[in-house]
Structure 1
Amino acid sequence: VLMYLKMAPRLDLIVLLMISGALGNEWSLNYSQEKLCALKGSTVVLRATYTHPTDVTVERVFWVIDPVKGRNLTDLRNDSSYSGRVEYLEGEQNHFSLRLRDVKKSDKHNYCCRIITNEDKERYLGYPGVILRVTDLQLIAPAEVTEGESVILTCKTTCSLTDPTFIWYKNTHDLTTNTFKSNKLHLQRVSSEDAGSYNCAVRGSEHLPSPAHNLSVRYPPKSVSVSISHSGERVEDNPVNLTCSSDANPPVENYTWFKENESSPVGSGQILIMTMNYTISKISSEDNEKYKCMCSNEVGHQNSTSVTLNVLYPPKNVSVSISSSGEKVEGTSVTLTCSSDSNPPVENYTWFKENETSPVGSGQSYRALQSGLYYCEVQNKLGSERSAAVSITITDAGDRRIIQMKVTISLFGEEVGKVLLNLTCSSDSNPPVENYTWFKENEASPVGSGQSYRALQSGLYYCEAQNKLGSERSAAVSITITDPPKNISVSISLSGEIVEGSSVNLTCSCDANPPVETYTWFNETSSVGKGITFTISKVRSEDSGKYKCMCSNKVGHQNSTSVTLNI
């Protein structure tokens, strides 16, 4: 690789050492530079220009190093240490240059031009010549810096290069968006992203970069997160691991675990790897908490966001509470309520009277009409549990004939474009119903109240009727809301220009409930076909025009916007 160096102003230093003969006024030998600094491994050119008297003939010109009076001067081309690296360049007007490739540090010498003529006494040496100094690039910078500080990287040479332009690399990628006359790279307020392997080079000699320098950035923990082992359900009495992960330099020294809203740690320790496990060998309902970890190193610390440990367990702490109705209607009654602690929530409540084989009721509350011992059984998907029995005494025998509550739902009502169902809840109770509440299955909160409810969405609905003596739910009814077609669009199989004779498909798409029964195609106002896809196997110019489709189901129909077919 040839490096063209910018020439400094001509120094016109003419100092000739006469080996033999007399120095004539017509002799001169000029070097373009007195001193030259070259990169190790680069190619340099040393230039000389000479003049001589017209009565002598120059037979040979060559370059020598470090000439000493009385010693033979060796042509560089014959010096084994320069083998294959030396080339002489002769030009017009007695220009004679030395091109030296793959410069080595051992090439640091004084280079002089030697002239041999046809006269034995007319031999000349241009002394002093060009002093060649050789340098490599060394990147000087601290090995480690703390995030937020500033750092200066210096590209150092042992001699002054001629008008250098410096280039900087990080992890082999060029950082230099602008050229740098300075040999310093300033990094302001460094962050972890500034860590990496840096090199510097000189423009034109990019293949001769400095050795890599690794810059390490110290920073406190960041990206702190907590993961929980066993991504599925976490059932009571099984082990669980909470793992804290983070990015930090130097590595995390301490991991400290906290329950949310508690200042005292639940576990801490030091570990050699970048993660820390907080282990609960047998989880219980008491471990249902939000957890977070704090990572610390010598630079700082950082907390994770909280994660919730959701422990599943069968019902426990089942109990029955008693409340009298306070009103004697066709006999005295007592309302029993069943309570428990359960995760997931209780799915079924079943009531029993001791010494009776069959259940006497269901639901979280039960209205007892007879004296006796009663208990409830609660169940979720993990198991079941019974309460202790409670003793009930009915003090007024009276006539205990109670009209059981019967709840039904009736459906009616319709609007254009969408069927709207009015649900009505009916019951037979004494005293009369005080509250009607509407529910949609799989939704925890009520969706409405009052004896009638207007359903706008498909699903399973039921009502709950309540009077002073208790409550009862109806069976669920399935509601399906229908819609006419909507969101109708037409797509063309070919994009861009459609050439006559080619085949083209027009496809109609839409949303409908119930599904579309009929697709009808129109060219302008004329019906041209049916089906979800309308195909023209060989289009002609007469097929050009605006096309649209109409989607129809039992509820109604709707047209798409027109698309233009340009043949």
Structure 2
Amino acid sequence: MSVRMAPPLPLILLLMISGVSGYYWGWSVSYSPSHICALKDSTVIMRCTYTYPTGYKIKKVFWTKGPIKEGVELLDLSNDPEYSQRLQYLGDKQQNCTVRLSHVTLKDSHMYYFRFITDDPGGKWTGAPGVTLNVTDLQVESPKRVTEGDSVTLRCKSSCALTDRATFIWSRNSQPLTERRDRNNELLLQSVRREDSGRYSCAVDGHTHISPAVQLNVMYPPKSVSVSISPSGVIVEGDSVTLNCISDSNPPAEISWIKGGTIVGSGRIYNISKISSDGSGEYKCKSINEYGEKYSDNVTLNVMYPPKNVSVSISPSGVIVEGDSVTLNCISDSNPHAEISWIKGGTIVGSGRIFSISKISSDDSGEYKCKSINEYGEKYSDNVTLNIM
């Protein structure tokens, strides 16, 4: 602070020109408080009072900011484009020098001073040291990775301790956490679940500034593991079939495919192009990450195909004598099961997988074959000869 007056005594004149701070023979400026920590985008009130000797009249009052340099004229902030729309003087030209600064930004962090000028050419005074204003934003401090079941504390941090009493509020994915408010700027999540994953931000109740969102990543082992099959209807030999392993886990799991007890593939998608009858069977997928593993239930691939490998067996297999009982068995591989008919020469003589002749006669000698048929195709066995002795 400095005062410049024109008193009659040379010694007094020397002291005043030298820039004495604080209170000097009736000249003073006081600030309450002298240090302010304010939240970005908020409004700050810098309370201030001043005194000066009787007999003087105030011609001009204004606020300025540091640094103060000798010989450099102090700038009236109300004329500064960065402040003119945001600064409002609430005081008077007697004792009150309070000012309001709205929508503060991080760039507003400075020391601010009140200056008044009297009607005497030497009666000028700047209240130094002034008000130190620190403007802070909010940042969420969170562990980068947590495991399901852990207890986690998130902190809403500022670069300085807010001057005004603050009530902190929290949100996840831009949704308020059931209007939760925490006075000690901490959010405690006990026994976190996968549903607690998300982007967390904090704010101070009654203020517009919101912290940048921070991702909370909850790790957990595979769960809800299942298999889907495409196409979902009837599968016919020659079709392309895709099995998809659906698994919920964090981090993503490694997938392997098992048919029976054998690993047959890996990756979330298992594709079988031109599936054959050998592709029928029970499949399941195994989902594993560093936190655990889980198997899906078995799913059955039931591949439809026409008859194949059709043949006839004869019992007894040796010499057949008139009067013996003879059984012909039609062996056929198909899905679904085929209908069987028996043909001797060009005549159908029976049906069913087993064709039995009791007390065979010489008339039964000849060539026999079976016909196997289902909705996907048909096939004949080779001829077999019954030679009756």
Report if TM-score (shorter chain) is over 0.5: yes
Give aligned pairs, total.
Answer: 359
| Aligned-residue offset at 1:362 | 3.4
* Aligned counterpart in structure 1 of residue 334 of structure 2, from 323, 339, 342: 342
Distance 2:176 2:303 in 1: 53
1:142 maps onto 2:143 in alignment: yes
Q: What does the per-residue CA deviation read over 1:81-119, in whole Å, with 9 as the maximum and x for residues that have no partner?
A: 534332212479854322223323333222232233344
1:235 maps onto 2:270 in alignment: no
Summarize the Cα distance change of 1:92–1:342 in structure 2 as closer, same or farther, 3 Å threshold.
Answer: farther
Distance 1:240 1:122 in 2: 95
Q: What does the per-residue CA deviation read over 1:361-382, in whole Å, with 9 as the maximum and x for residues that have no partner?
A: 3345556465325544332111
Aligned residue for 2:61, secondary structure, equals strand
Q: Who is 2:62 aligned against?
A: 62
Q: Who is 2:180 aligned against?
A: 178
Summarize the Cα distance change of 1:163–1:379 in structure 2 as closer, same or farther, 3 Å threshold.
Answer: same
Distance 2:111 2:240 in 1: 80
Alignment of 1:104-143 (within 5 A): 104-120=105-121, 122-143=123-144
Aligned residue for 1:359, secondary structure, equals strand
Give ranges in structure 1 of 5+ residues lacking alignment.
Answer: 1-15, 324-330, 396-567
Do the aligned residues in 2 keep the contact of 1:313 with 1:343 (CA within 8 Å)? yes
* Aligned counterpart in structure 1 of residue 170 of structure 2, from 163, 168, 171: 168
Alignment of 1:189-200 (within 5 A): 189-200=191-202
Do the aligned residues in 2 keep the contact of 1:321 with 1:338 (CA within 8 Å)? no
Distance 1:109 1:174 in 2: 34
Q: Who is 1:35 aligned against?
A: 35
For CA contacts below 8 A with separation 6 or more, give which structure has more relative contact order. 2
Alignment of 1:279-358 (within 5 A): 279=272, 281-284=274-277, 286-316=278-308, 317=310, 319=312, 340-346=332-338, 348-352=339-343, 354-355=344-345, 357-358=346-347
Q: What does the per-residue CA deviation read over 1:188-245, in whole Å, with 9 as the maximum and x for residues that have no partner?
A: 3434433333322222223x22233233344444443333343343223555443434
| Aligned-residue offset at 1:290 | 0.4
Distance 1:237 1:126 in 2: 93
Do the aligned residues in 1 keep the contact of 2:154 with 2:188 (CA within 8 Å)? yes
Do the aligned residues in 2 keep the contact of 1:19 with 1:125 (CA within 8 Å)? no
Q: Who is 1:214 aligned against?
A: 215
Q: Who is 2:373 aligned against?
A: 379
**Percent identity of the aligned residues?**
43
Q: Who is 1:96 aligned against?
A: 97
Q: TM-score, normalised by structure 2?
A: 0.76
Q: Who is 2:269 aligned against?
A: 276
Q: Who is 2:17 aligned against?
A: none
Alignment of 1:357-506 (within 5 A): 357-364=346-353, 368=357, 371=361, 372=364, 373=366, 374-387=368-381, 389=384, 391=386
Distance 2:178 2:95 in 1: 42
| Aligned-residue offset at 1:308 | 0.8
| Aligned-residue offset at 1:282 | 4.4
Do the aligned residues in 1 keep the contact of 2:91 with 2:99 (CA within 8 Å)? no
Aligned residue for 2:207, secondary structure, equals coil
Alignment-mate amino acid for residue 74 of structure 2:
L
Aligned residue for 1:106, secondary structure, equals helix
Alignment-mate amino acid for residue 31 of structure 2:
Y
Q: TM-score, normalised by structure 1?
A: 0.54
Alignment-mate amino acid for residue 377 of structure 1:
K
Do the aligned residues in 1 keep the contact of 2:40 with 2:106 (CA within 8 Å)? yes
Do the aligned residues in 2 keep the contact of 1:28 with 1:52 (CA within 8 Å)? yes
Q: Who is 2:15 aligned against?
A: none
Summarize the Cα distance change of 1:108–1:241 in structure 2 as closer, same or farther, 3 Å threshold.
Answer: closer
